[in-house]
Every structure is written in structure tokens, then in C-alpha cells.
């Protein structure tokens, strides 16, 4: 073969075969793996939510009475004044013709605010007569009325959250008293809520509160991810790029979430979506959701 012919042959060879390196393909197992999105099983805090309205009352009303009959000698406080335990409130003097008695002093046995009163110095009073009231605002109470349908699920200690402009605030309270007897005219059961003293709260304020009943703390998943098969509930659990159809025990539902009481552990990955149908033991490939 001449040198010219050899060069032509070489050029043709490069044109037909040059750069034609076979692409590297994945293993058959990788090619057949089903892309799935997963989420870890997490402990969640759930509750059932019901909204009520209530007006705040003082934690306690301490009525202070005259210890004797006589006249109201002096008033040491004014309406709206804040007092502490032990502060002097008023004195009463016994009046008997020809006799002189020391005045009886009455001191506050609770701290709080002096409520409005009508008596004035010099007015006659009787033994055990109510003179003035101290409103204990170290905490507040509020009463809600609960239907016979809901009262069975309300428990002492259930939490409640104050809402403002349809948004939850940081102010919380709890159920402290549940009446065993309804108001028979309405058929509603009085339930007492208690709130700590907090900025923005005051005696007489009307609150919108969210009562959080039937609290649950544990594992829960969206109901759409639970697979009903063979008369049992299952989750697709992913481990080492393989999916397992795991039987689980389910409990109560909270909206779209279903509680899980057995069969899986926190931190395990369950399938939330897949591009193709998956079966027990199938190879899968975890992808990120959009």
C-alpha cells in the first residue's frame, strides 16, 4: 500500500471510529431503583382545638369585714390603690355612751387592688359587715361554657392559648376546675381557666382562647402515607436503599395526621411519595422533593 493510500485509510478510520467510547451505565439495580421521597418519623405534640370566649376575673376576691359594731373611723386606702398583705385598710371604733374603746384596725390579708366601695369615714357599721374588697390580680380566672358533647374530653390541666387578631400569643393558661353539673337552662358545663399575671391581661378583659384538649405526644404521619393491606395498616420504610412494607399499629386521628402506637421507631425513614408503584423489597433511590 502506498503512503498516500495509508494516510487516506487512517483518516477514514478516525472519522468512523474516533471518539466512539461507550458511555458508562449504572448497574441494573441502580437503573431499576424507584425514585422516592422520604421523611423521618418524628415525635409530635398534637391536640384537639376548640375556641371559646371568656372574661377575666381576679384570682380571688377578699372581702374585709368590720370586726365590731360601731363607726367607720378612718379609711386608709382608696379605690384602685394597690395593697400588700398586712397593709392597713380601715379602723372601726366602738361607740357606747360613757365608755371609750380602742379602735379596731383591719389589715389586708391578701395583696391586690382595692375594689370600689361606698362607705365613708364616720358611717355606722355593724359587726361582720362588708366594708371593702381586695381584688387579687396575681393571676386571673375565666369561665367558659362547654357542651355535653365536648365536656367528656376536657381534663383538668388541659392547656389553653390566648388569641389576638386571630393569631396565637405567648400567653397560656390551663383548666383548673370542671363543674360536674351543667347550667340546666343552657345545658352547658362551666369550666374554669386560670392565667398567670401577664402583660396585656387585666381584670374584666374579654379573651378569645383556644382550648387544647386530648393532648398527644408521639409518632404521627399523614393519613395518605398509610397503606391498608392484608387487613392491616402499613408504612413503606426505607433502609439501605430497599423498601419494606412494615405493619404498624395506629391510634387516634388529629386532622390529617394519624398517631402510630407501635411497629416503627423515631428516626426511621418512611416513603411520602414515589414516581412509580413500589412493592415490599423493591430497590429505591431517595430523591429530594421539589
**For residue 140, what is its C-alpha cell?**
386571673
CATH superfamily of the 49-58+138-216 domain: Efflux pump adaptor protein, beta barrel domain (2.40.30.170)
- What pLDDT was estimated at residue 161? 97
Q: Does domain 30-45+217-286 have CATH number 3.30.559.10?
A: no
**All 3 cell numbers of residue 56?**
377575666
**Positions of CATH 2.40.420.20 in the chain:** 30-45+217-286
Supply the pLDDT for residue 25: 45
Residue that wins the pLDDT comparison between 13 and 197: 197
Of 77-86, 99-108, 204-213, the poorest mean pLDDT is in: 99-108
Euclidean distance between CA atoms 189 and 208, whole angstroms: 18
The pLDDT of residue 20 = 44
Residue-level pLDDT at 31 = 63
Residue scoring higher pLDDT (164 or 12): 164
Rounded to whole angstroms, the Cα distance separating 213 from 156 reads: 10
Give the β-pairing of 269-274 and 130-146: unpaired
Q: What is the pLDDT of residue 256?
A: 94
> Tens digits of per-residue pLDDT, 127-148?
999 999 999 999 999 999 999 9
- CA separation for the pair 103, 31 (Å, rounded): 99
Location of each CATH 2.40.30.170 domain in the chain: 49-58+138-216
290 pLDDT band, cuts 50/70/90, is low
- Order of strands, edge to edge, in the sheet holding 104-107? 104-107, 88-93, 70-75, 124-125
What number is the average pLDDT over the span 245-258?
95
Query: At 261, is the pLDDT very low, low, confident or very high (cuts 50, 70, 90)?
Result: very high
Q: How far apart are CA 13 and CA 275, in angstroms?
A: 44
Q: What percent of the chain has pLDDT over 90?
A: 81
Q: Which of 3-7, 79-83, 171-175, 191-195 has the lowest mean pLDDT?
A: 3-7
Write the pLDDT tens digit of every residue in 37-82. Answer: 999 999 999 999 999 999 999 999 999 999 999 999 999 999 999 9
Write out the three cell numbers for 105: 384596725
Task: Please give the grid coordinates belonging to residue 30.
Answer: 441502580
Output the CA torsion sign for 13, 16, 18, 20.
negative
Q: State pTM to two decimals.
A: 0.71
**88-114 burial by CB neighbour count: b if 16+ within 10 A, else e?**
ebbbbbbeeeeeeeeeeebebebbbbb
- Report the C-alpha gap between 119 and 101 in whole angstroms: 22
Q: Is the dihedral of CA 66, 72, 73, 74 positive or negative?
A: positive
- Give the whole-angstrom CA distance, residue 263 versus residue 163: 38
Task: Give 165-178 pLDDT, tens digit per residue.
Answer: 889 999 999 999 99
What is 60-136's CATH topology? Answer: OB fold (Dihydrolipoamide Acetyltransferase, E2P) (2.40.50)
Name the segment(s) of the chain with CATH classification 2.40.50.100: 60-136
pLDDT, one tens digit per residue, over 100-129 is 678 899 999 999 999 999 999 999 999 999
The pairing of strands 284-286 and 34-40 is parallel
Mean pLDDT across 198-224: 95
Amino acid at each position: 500500500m502506498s503512503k498516500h493510500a495509508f494516510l487516506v485509510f487512517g483518516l477514514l478510520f478516525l472519522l468512523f471510529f474516533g471518539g466512539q467510547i461507550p458511555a458508562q451505565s449504572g448497574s441494573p439495580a441502580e437503573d431499576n431503583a424507584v425514585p422516592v421521597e422520604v421523611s423521618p418519623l418524628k415525635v409530635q405534640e398534637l391536640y384537639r382545638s376548640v375556641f371559646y370566649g371568656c372574661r377575666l376575673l381576679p384570682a380571688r376576691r377578699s372581702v374585709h369585714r368590720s370586726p365590731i359594731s360601731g363607726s367607720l373611723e378612718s379609711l386608709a386606702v382608696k379605690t384602685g390603690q394597690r395593697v400588700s398583705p398586712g397593709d392597713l385598710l380601715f379602723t372601726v371604733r366602738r361607740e357606747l355612751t360613757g365608755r371609750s374603746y380602742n379602735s379596731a384596725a383591719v389589715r389586708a390579708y391578701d395583696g391586690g387592688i382595692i375594689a370600689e366601695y361606698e362607705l365613708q369615714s364616720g358611717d355606722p357599721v355593724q359587726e361582720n359587715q362588708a366594708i371593702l374588697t381586695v381584688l387579687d390580680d396575681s393571676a386571673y380566672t375565666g369561665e367558659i361554657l362547654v357542651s355535653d358533647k365536648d365536656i367528656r374530653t376536657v381534663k383538668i390541666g388541659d392547656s389553653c392559648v390566648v388569641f389576638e387578631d386571630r393569631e396565637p400569643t405567648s400567653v397560656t393558661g390551663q383548666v383548673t376546675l370542671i363543674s360536674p353539673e351543667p347550667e340546666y337552662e343552657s345545658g352547658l358545663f362551666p369550666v374554669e381557666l386560670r392565667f398567670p399575671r401577664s402583660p396585656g391581661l387585666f381584670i374584666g378583659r374579654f379573651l378569645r382562647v383556644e382550648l387544647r384538649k386530648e393532648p398527644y405526644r408521639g409518632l404521627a404521619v399523614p393519613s395518605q402515607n398509610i397503606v391498608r393491606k392484608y387487613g392491616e395498616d402499613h408504612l413503606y420504610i426505607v433502609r439501605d436503599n430497599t423498601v419494606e412494607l412494615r405493619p404498624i399499629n395506629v391510634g387516634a386521628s388529629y386532622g390529617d395526621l394519624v398517631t402510630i402506637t407501635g411497629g416503627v421507631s423515631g428516626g426511621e425513614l418512611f416513603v411520602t411519595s414515589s414516581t412509580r408503584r413500589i412493592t415490599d423489597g423493591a430497590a429505591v433511590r431517595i430523591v429530594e422533593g421539589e
